Amino acid sequence: MTEAPAARPPRGITRLGLYAYALAAAVLVIDQLSKLWVLNVLDLPSKGQIPVLSFFRLTMVMNQGVSFGLLRADGPVGRWLLVGAALAVVVALIIWVRKADRRLFATALGLIIGGALGNNLIDRARIGEVVDFLDFSGLYFPWVFNIADSAISIGVVLLLIDSFAPQGPSADTPDRDN
């Protein structure tokens, strides 16, 4: 009896690319569920702020900017320009991650894709602004943010670390041990 061949990823996508897509989906789901909880279960908009720890509170902020309130998009034209820009970035990252060959690189892009989809596409397209609620001002961090912002920030840091990490020899580099 012969074994069935192992399932292969779609043509042109590495296993790490699939991992990045799965990570992006997980970030997106966690981000959107946390925002639904804050808005509809906790009803943070009516409470404004809820102290949790001495340095952390849940604070309702509707953000018209990109990340941490930067690049505000006042009005519908700015809103849809940011949606379009985010879509272009996400498409580029989705194409880039298809050839991922390092776990750190795939992790970084997966986090960035999931965060960009959650914040700058879904929130902005659905409600015109981004739901922010994580407030660490007790640690002198001045911005209120969300899960997607965190994923994007961590992903960018990991991408920088990956870019400076030594890479293995490429296929066209001669082996120096011979």
* Within a domain: 8: no
132 is catalytic: yes
* Within a domain: 1: no
Residue span of the structural domain in which 110 resides: 15-163
Q: What residues contact 29, with CB distance under 8 A and at least 6 apart?
A: none
Q: What is the structure's pLDDT at 3?
A: 60
* Within a domain: 102: yes
Task: Provide the number of structural domains found in the chain.
Answer: 1
Beta bridge partners of 90: none
* Within a domain: 141: yes
* Within a domain: 40: yes
Residue 142 pLDDT > 70, yes or no? yes
Who wins on pLDDT, 119 or 29? 29
Residue 168 pLDDT > 60, yes or no? yes
* Within a domain: 132: yes
* In contact, 32 and 118? CB cutoff 8 Å: yes
Q: Which residue among the candidates 132, 135, 162, 177 is catalytic per the annotation?
A: 132
* Within a domain: 136: yes
* Within a domain: 172: no
175 is catalytic: no
- Model pTM? 0.80
Q: What is the structure's pLDDT at 172?
A: 41
